[in-house]
Amino acid sequence: MVPISEALVSAVVEPGDVVLDVACGTGIATRLAAAAVGSSGRVVGSDLNQRMIAYSRQVSAVDWPEIVWEEASALNLPFEDDSFDCVICQQGLQFFPDPAAGLVEMGRVARRGGSVAVTVWSELTTSPYFEALTEMLIDHALVEPDDLVFTATADEIVEWFKQAGLAVPIVEQVETEVNLPPIGEYLPSHMKALPWADSYFGLDEQSQQAAVEHVKGRLAGYQTRAGLQVPFGSYVAHTTA
């Protein structure tokens, strides 16, 4: 998802900035932010998932040893007010129990005049992979449809910012095609980073394979020799704190 991460970072991060990446996951946007701020800046990545922090720290150890990694809830960030020039969040906000509360925290730790920026997957129709994943989780992992939130509309994102007391954000849509490994490799790996991991990995081996085959069949039209080439759509929203 590098093009979307690049759009997020380029929207707000400048050389020399002090940046926080909230719900950083595997740290893609965190590392791009480190490259953007250069040696005069500083970058922190935070995530509630200890496994994600451990993975990000390991992946970044050689090229980006200066990045600081913190295990932390997005709803209770362990940082002082006005600590960062930019606070970013890639594809995490929609998974928060209360997105507006997450934005309140992001705005709190951003300095006055700094930036708060997020990406959120746009409607399911723009991302066939998430359409297939949603179907799979409902049909195979028995996740309730109302509990599945991968995406949001532009209006919903604006409303979250308003509820958080932040200025109305600029919202732009980014559409790209992403090359993925074969779905049998990618889907289990991706599930580990999603809120419904327990529902998927709680299935027996045969049921997990059936779930993979479901997604594979739905995405058959996007197969390449190396795996898949799938469209993805995302909103990039940013405002001044």
Q: Which residues of the chain have pLDDT under 50?
A: none
**CB within 8 A of 175, min separation 6: which ones?**
126, 231, 232, 233, 234
**Which residues have a Cβ under 8 Å from the Cβ of 239 and sit 6 or more positions away?**
115, 116, 117, 161, 166, 167, 168, 169, 170
Q: What is the pLDDT of residue 105?
A: 98
For position 74, what pLDDT does the model report? 96
3-state secondary structure (DSSP) of residue 209: helix
Structural domains in the chain plus CATH codes: 2-240 (3.40.50.150)
